[in-house]
Structure 1
Amino acid sequence: MQHLPKRIKIIWWQITAFNLFLWLVLIAGIIIAHHFWNWLPLWLLYFVGAGMVVEIVTEIILIPYRYAIYEYEVRDTDVEIRHGYFFRHHVAIPIARVQNVDLHQGPLLRLQKLYKVKIATGGSTHEIEALDHEEALRLKEQVMALALEARNAF
């Protein structure tokens, strides 16, 4: 089983920082609404602040664990993906059912030169969160070649 590139941790840190920003905007809105219009109770501020602390601390603590348990492997018969810390997901995608492999790159992935790999079957789509460009291309070519070979075998 292979792990994601270590640079994915930077993206997860950036997402956590953005979530913190959103929480702080919400808290500022509650403070402004309470101060100027006095229509939101002050206890709501404490409740939201506690929620923010719990979520951000949990996300920060779980980043190394999330990285350690996210694995994938391409075999002759299937593509296996394992991830999830509270609810574990272990997916085996049969090669014969693979219809398409797409590479996607959003702004955060682009900054780290990583690609999200989406493997589409007839009924669903499965993702590998981030791979280096060379590894993503190699995986795409390998999976599509195995899928074409499996289709030709029937």
Structure 2
Amino acid sequence: MSEKHLENRLSVHFPKMRMISDGLVNLIVFVVLAGLFWLNFYFEWPAWAFWVLIALLVITIASTVWSLFEPMYLYRSWSYEYDEEYLQLKYGIFKKEWVTVPMTKIQSVSTVKGPIMKWFNTRSIKVETMGSSHSIPALDEEVALQLRETLAAFAKSKEVDES
């Protein structure tokens, strides 16, 4: 298959949702690190423990800065397309992935709606095959429900046609 542009994109809310999710995780990590720094001060741990905590703090700050830019790059790199024969997914920032899932191999299609997704009225789609699982991380709710029904119908019609 050629490197063509796939027409469907993720929800425009994806970068905000990802930033909120990453922000909550980073907040928890900073709270844990603050607790470890306090324990280091209170119990007078060895000097190497302080330097390990400093290294963890630097890594956490770097990952926090990256988490401010990563969602937009992911949003720009994600696209998908489907027809009666295949579901195609294209994504990745540093490592570009192009996945083609034949409709005949799809065993189940489900949607997931987490607490942050509920705020933005989005869902993710999970497609299961015999040997793997693929997901589309954030679609508007109506689009996700329609896609789930369409993929399930295509997979079922291909299953019926083969027998």
User: Take 1:152 and 1:45, find their aligned partners in 2: how far apart are those partners?
Assistant: 59
Q: Which runs of 4+ in 1 moved over 4 A?
A: none
Q: Distance in 2 between matches of 1:103 and 1:30?
A: 39
Residue type of the alignment partner of 2:124: K
Aligned to 1:44: 52
Q: What is the rounded CA distance, in whole Å, between the counterparts of 1:137 and 1:127 in structure 2?
A: 14
More off after superposition, 73-82 vs 37-46: 37-46
> Could you tell me which residue of structure 1 aligns to residue 132 of structure 2?
124
Secondary structure of the corresponding residue to residue 159 of structure 2: helix
Matched, 1:21 2:33: no
Find the aligned partners of 2:9 and 2:69 in 1 and give their Cα distance: 19
Deviation at 1:86, TM superposition (A): 2.4
Q: Which whole-Å CA distance do the structure 2 matches of 1:56 and 1:98 have between them?
A: 37
Structure 2: how far apart are the matches of 1:33 and 1:44?
13
Q: Which residue of 2 aligns with 1:85?
A: 93
TM-score using structure 2 length:
0.87
Provide the rounded CA distance (Å) in 1 between the counterparts of 2:133 and 2:27.
Answer: 31
> 1:37 is matched by which residue type in structure 2?
F
Q: For residues 19 and 140 of structure 1, what CA distance do their matches in structure 2 show?
A: 29
In structure 2, give the amino acid aligned to 1:44.
Answer: V
Shift of 1:42: 2.3
Distance between the aligned counterparts of 2:128 and 2:62, measured in 1? 36
Letter in 1 for 2:11: P
Amino acid across the alignment from 1:36 = Y
Return the alpha-carbon distance in structure 2 between the equivalents of residues 130 and 100 of structure 1. Answer: 18
Report if aligned partners of 2:106, 2:128 keep a CA contact under 8 Å in 1: yes
Q: Do the aligned residues in 1 keep the contact of 2:122 with 2:141 (CA within 8 Å)?
A: yes
1:106 aligns with 2:114: yes
**Mapped contact 2:14–2:71 kept (Cα < 8 A):** no
Give the total of aligned pairs: 154
C-alpha distance in 2 between matches for 1:44 and 1:122? 44
CA distance in 2, matches of 1:26, 1:116: 30
Counterpart in 2 of 1:55?
A: 63
Counterpart amino acid of residue 71 in structure 1 = S
